[in-house]
Amino acid sequence: MPTYVVRDTTVMLKRSLRHILRSPDTIVTTAVTPIAMLLLFVYVFGSAIDTGGGRYVDYLLPGILLITVASGIAYTAFRLFTDVSGGLFERFQSMPIARSAVLWGHVLTSVVANVISLVLVVLVAVAMGFRSGAGVLAWLAVAGILVLFTLALTWLAVIPGLTAKSADGVSGFSVPLIFLPFISSAFVPTGGMPGPVRWFAENQPVTPIVNTVRGLYAEQPVGNDGWIAVAWCPGLLLVAYALAMRTYRSKIA
Amino acid sequence: MTTTSAIEIAGLTKSYGDHSVLGGVDLTVPPGTVYALLGANGAGKTTLVRILATLLRADGGTAAVHGHDVAAEPARVRESSSLTGQFAAVDEILTGRENLVLIGELRHLEDAGGIADRLLARFDLTDAAGRRVATYSGGMRRRLDIAMSLIGDPPVLFLDEPTTGLDPQSRLEVWKTVQELAGQGTTVLLTTQYLEEAEHLAHRIAILHGGRIIAEGTLAELKRLLPPATVEYVEKQPTLEDIFLAVVGSDGSDQ
């Protein structure tokens, strides 16, 4: 019933948005860790880090935004896991609804929740002195990159959401994602890292994405990093989506 | 559709690896009957129900619900049936009413709100309608769960161990609901491991054992499989359940 895809997805989206409204703590806890890192690095370690001029908070914010997304998607996995373990997922699957609506409802909710968390983090950064002269187009480009990144990580989160055996297992998967930005240009320039670490840092997706967002905020040309980031985000999204759908199909038999 | 069986199963098989769960099940459920599928834990009852509800694919054989093949026309099967699983599949964060409206909207019904209100009244949940389901008792959850399955009036209802884990009063409430459904012409396929439940509710009973139906018929027919009854005089003691219900009052609500 393809005609019902949009209608059913809207109903499912409305349902999980209600979940978020009734547990706003999930958005606050998502934002707490990145905000704590922001405070710690700007006010404690920041003075010892040489980024080659400029405010450190301006340098740090893009990486913190990616960490916000990585910690936010754990809740998406958890909400999906709750549906699966509680039997609601099977109820929906046994009903005459567009089957993809069940997953899309959770995925779109993840985007909404993460956008709210991201706005919170940016507001704290502004209070700490973050400033950008970026125009509307640059902000839109940043928003686009972050939404694509959120979608990619969310589809990745769908996999443990569908397959986890316990609530602990479901949230554990996001820990490596939160730490990935540490081995990138998010906190310190990659130039000072030893050979293999530097190679990894410069060739993993976080670095070009962080550099691009940083460039957009600083009104600098993003150059090659921009194209690499533009390739990574949809690329990650496609791979994550394909893996999630494969898991989903094996789940519903 | 009086000429079509509500459920028609022929030679159905399902294995997990080399462990055979269903080894050729044949079953015909006439429309408008309450049909009990009796079996011990692990007999394959849930596997069979999951295949009928299009949640699981069979390895071999055929199964049709309301005239629609589960493998070829799963969307049709989903339109004409509803599943109530072993555990109440309700959204804990939403209220009781929101749960019902959600299902009504997903079944694309006009006036999902009105349908929800009527079901809340019918299942004695009106007072709790605005409360989150997380605060409901086990019996209330089960009633809401069954009410959710009735939305859209599907002609065939699968109830997988609907009274497992319920207290005696809630179990009686579920029994009453099933009897009312039967009175309205809904076909109910009920799995249970409680013999008295099958005896009490079902028009016909099938015994699933070792992945096959080993006996099938009305209660009277099944009784004829055994030697004729002998008359014995046994002092009738009240069961603990009789005592429990007498002491707490069988009309007592669990709210």
pLDDT tens digit string along A95-141?
Answer: 988 888 889 999 999 999 999 999 999 999 999 888 888 888 889 98
Q: From CA A156, how far away is CA A150, in angstroms rounded?
A: 10
A18, A86, A97 member nearest B94 (Cβ): A18
| Domain contains B119 | no
Mean pLDDT over the full length of chain B: 87
CB atoms B148 and A11 under 8 Å:
no
Contacts of B66 in chain A (CB under 8 A): none
Asked if residues B9 and B36 have their Cβ atoms less than 8 Å apart, the reply is no
Count H helices and E strands in chain A, helices first.
11, 0
Sheet holding B34-38, edge to edge: B81-84, B156-160, B187-192, B34-38, B204-209, B212-217
pLDDT of residue B51: 93
Which residues neighbour A232 within 8 Å (Cβ) at sequence distance 6 or greater? Answer: A205, A208, A209
Rounded (to 5) percent helix, strand, coil in chain B:
35, 25, 40
Tokens of A98: 């567009």
| Domain contains B24 | yes
Number of domain units in chain B: 1
Q: Is the pLDDT of residue B92 over 80?
A: yes
Q: From CA A123, how far away is CA B169, in angstroms rounded?
A: 55
pLDDT band at A23 (very low <50, low <70, confident <90, very high): confident
Question: B25: closest CA among B216, B235, B211?
Answer: B211
Chain Cα centroid distance, residue B108: 24
pLDDT of residue B3: 56
Encoded amino acid at A250, one letter: S
Would you state the torsion angle of the CA atoms of residues A183, A185, A191, A196, taken in this order, to the nearest 10 degrees?
30
CB atoms B55 and A90 under 8 Å:
yes
B75, B83, B102 member nearest A15 (Cβ): B102
Domain that holds residue B179: 7-90+136-248
| Domain contains B60 | yes
Q: From CA A13, how far away is CA B102, in angstroms rounded?
A: 11
Mean pLDDT value of segment B196-219: 88
* Residues belonging to chain B with any Cβ–Cβ distance to chain A shorter than 8 Å: 53-57, 75, 78-79, 81-83, 85-94, 98, 102-103, 105-108, 132, 148
Mean pLDDT value of segment A221-228: 79
Q: From CA A160, how far away is CA A76, in angstroms rounded?
A: 10
Tokens of B4: 């079509």
Strand B212-217, strand B68-69: pairing = unpaired
Domain ranges of chain A: 2-252
Interface ipTM > 0.95: no
Closest residue on chain A to B99 (Cα)? A15
Strand B68-69, strand B81-84: pairing = unpaired
| Domain contains B164 | yes
Q: Is the pLDDT of residue A150 over 90?
A: yes
Tokens of B209: 């054992």
pLDDT of residue A104: 92
pLDDT of residue B1: 42
Chain Cα centroid distance, residue B130: 27
CB atoms B55 and A92 under 8 Å:
no
Tokens of A20: 């978020």
Q: From CA A174, how far away is CA B53, in angstroms rounded?
A: 34
User: In 10 A of CB B145, how many CB atoms?
Assistant: 23
pLDDT of residue B229: 67
Would you state the torsion angle of the CA atoms of residues A196, A200, A201, A205, taken in this order, to the nearest 10 degrees?
170
| Domain contains B208 | yes
Tokens of B71: 């493998």
CB atoms A91 and B75 under 8 Å:
no
- CATH code of residue B62: 3.40.50.300
Encoded amino acid at B138, one letter: G
Mean pLDDT value of segment A145-169: 90
Q: From CA A81, how far away is CA A180, in angstroms rounded?
A: 24
Q: Is the pLDDT of residue B40 over 70?
A: yes
pLDDT of residue A64: 92
| Domain contains B120 | no
| Domain contains B71 | yes
* A109 CA: distance to closest CA in chain B (Å): 15
Closest residue on chain B to A102 (Cα)? B106
Tokens of B160: 């997988």
Q: From CA B11, how far away is CA B24, in angstroms rounded?
A: 4
